[in-house]
Amino acid sequence: MTIRQLLGPTCTLTALLALAGCYFTDAKQGAKVEESKLGNDTTILSKAYSKLIFDTSEILSSSAGTKSVLFNSTGTKLYAMNLEAMSVYEFDQPTKKVEKIFKFKATKGFGWDYVTHQSIPSFEEKPVEACFSHDDKILWVSLHNAAGIVPIKLDSLAMDSSNTYRSKKMYVIDKKEHTRDSVFVPLIKTGKTPKVIARTADSKHLLVSNWHSNNISVLEMNDTLAPFGKVISTIPVSAIPRGIVVDDKNQKSYIAIMGGRTISVVNNNTWKIEKNLEVASTPRHIVMDTSGHLFVSYNSIGKIGCIDVATGKTLFTTATNTQPRTIVLSKNHQFLFVTCYTGNTVDVFKINKYSFTKLYSLECKGKPVGVDVFENDDKLEAWVCNYVGGSLKVFSFKKK
């Protein structure tokens, strides 16, 4: 449920207070309400919690090469980007069933062998990561071998074969309605091997990390006129970029330079790098809490770290299982979930003031890579995608 839905359009002062911080008081209930405002997440939790107790796990079938997962802001739908299957699956959170399949029509292209470090024949339409904008109306998906991203307008899918922009053909299979339609989605060229996508809170700008171009594309967005975005700036970086965090409060963006040992700090008004924070080797994924702490996964050295962005100093680190990939914070920012690719585990940490405490190292066979969380007052679910297994594993925790 969003803040607007909970408070109603007339409660403007309370709503503004809610957006300003992590806590506000519901005047009707007189209860403390905990809110998360990271990225597109507007989840509201009415109960505070400080413990997670592992309960159960469940395996869901996805498709070949599931690379990342992403919940919408209300937590009702999860989208799985299936790189090798060239598709996006829409899961219903309550039933844990696939409701829609977005299947790209394959066209020949060239990919990259990350073992031999050579270009290989492949297909262009391989989804990597995703990002929502405009109140979940548009799902932006990076295509590994197409040198660009596509916007999927979820609220108005319609076939447009008379467009004047580049496009990709996609089949939409609705498993509930038993229908199959064809649509064209715009292809916006960014750079070679696009990976992570992030947006500003107002849905005006989108950032894309381009792995093999060693740069970041900045797009200006709109939700009314196709192709819904255009590149307005390109930010060169020192080496391979991947993770991106947008700090709207301070008008900064943070770019993890996975090919090196820095995090670049970008000014969101000029779209230029202001400085580089020195960190450990191969920072891959980054997330940020509301207190100015940046959390980082270090892929090659098997560690996670916490950085104070105000000073640029690393506050504390700890070891994970091998090759930590995607990380995600719980809604109260007290817990960190880490997928460990070759370790075949999901590591769960409690975030203390000066340290991490490992709570669980849960087996997750099939090379786990992406993770996102669903929460309500009583439980937390960590939805993890397994790249080799082509499946999702849902870990459920009780809150205390």
Whether 127 and 138 share a structural domain: yes
Q: 366 and 347: one domain?
A: yes
pLDDT on residue 386: 97
Q: List the alpha helices (DSSP H) in 115-156.
A: none
pLDDT given for residue 18 in this prediction: 34
Query: Are 251 and 341 in the same domain?
Result: yes
DSSP code of 122?
E
Q: Judge if 31 and 47 occupy the same domain.
A: no
Task: Mark whether 5 and 129 lie in a shared domain.
Answer: no
Specify the number of domains making up the chain.
2
What does each C-alpha distance from 195 to 37, 81, 145 come to in angstroms? 23, 12, 10
Is the Cβ–Cβ distance between 331 and 43 less than 8 Å? yes
Q: Are residues 138 and 252 in the same domain?
A: yes
Between strands 167-174 and 97-104, the pairing is: antiparallel
Peptide bond before residue 227 is cis, with ω within 30 degrees of 0: yes
**Nearest to residue 69, comparing CAs of 272, 352, 373, 281?**
373
Indicate whether 202 and 245 sit together in one domain: yes
> Can you give the CATH number for the domain in which 329 is found?
2.130.10.10
In terms of residue numbers, what domain contains 189?
A: 36-399
Would you say 67 and 125 are in contact if contact means Cβ atoms under 8 Å apart? no
What pLDDT does residue 156 have? 85
* Residue 131 and residue 253 share a domain: yes
What does 308-343 look like in DSSP terms, one character per residue? ETTTTEEEEEEE-SSSEEEEEE-TTSSEEEEEETTT
- Pair (137, 9) in one structural domain: no
Neighbours of 395 (CB within 10 A): 23
What predicted TM-score, i.e. pTM, was given to this entire model? Answer: 0.89
Same domain, 31 and 45: no
Q: Clarify whether residues 30 and 93 are in a common domain.
A: no
pLDDT at residue number 15:
37
State the Cα torsion 147-247-228-92 to the nearest 10°. Answer: 90
How far is the CA of 34 from the CAs of 13, 23, 86, in angstroms? 17, 5, 38
Please tell me whether residue 245 adopts helix, strand or coil conformation. Answer: strand
22 shares a domain with 63: no
Mean pLDDT per 10-residue segment, the chain (400 residues): 38 35 31 43 74 98 96 98 98 98 97 90 97 97 98 81 80 95 96 98 98 98 94 98 97 98 98 97 97 97 97 97 98 98 98 97 97 97 96 98
